[in-house]
Structure 1
Amino acid sequence: MTENRGGSRRTWVSSTVAVTTGFSAILAMASTADAATQSAATAANTCPYTYFCAYPEPNFGGTPIAVTDCIEKYIPWTSLGSWINHQTPGTRAQFRSSDHVTRWTDDGAYDSDASADWSWVYWVKPC
Structure 2
Amino acid sequence: MVAVATGFSAVLIMASTAGAATHGAGSATTAAASCPYKYFCAYPGANFTGQPILMYNCVEHEITWSGLGSWINNQTPGTRAQFRSSDHVTRWMDRGAYDSDASADWTWVWWVKPC
Q: TM-score, normalised by structure 1?
A: 0.82
Q: Deviations over 1:57-106 (max 9, x none)?
A: 11111111000111111101112111111001111111111111222211
Aligned partner of 1:40 in structure 2 is: 28
**C-alpha contact 1:36 1:114 (8 A) present in aligned 2:** no
Gaps of 5+ in 2: none
Q: Which amino acid aligns with 1:48?
A: P
User: Which residue identity lines up with residue 93 of structure 2 in the other structure?
Assistant: T
Q: CA RMSD in A?
A: 1.4
Aligned to 1:16: 4
The answer on whether the counterparts of 1:36 and 1:59 sit within 8 Å (CA) in structure 2 is no
Per-residue Cα deviation, 1:27-46 (whole angstroms, up to 9, x for no partner) = 32332232222112111111
**Larger Rg belongs to:** 1
Matched, 1:81 2:72: no
Identity of aligned residues (%): 59
Aligned length: 115
Runs of 5+ in structure 1 lacking a partner? Answer: 1-12
Instruction: Compare the two structures and name the one with the higher helix fraction.
Output: 1
Scaled by the length of structure 2, the TM-score of the pair is 0.89
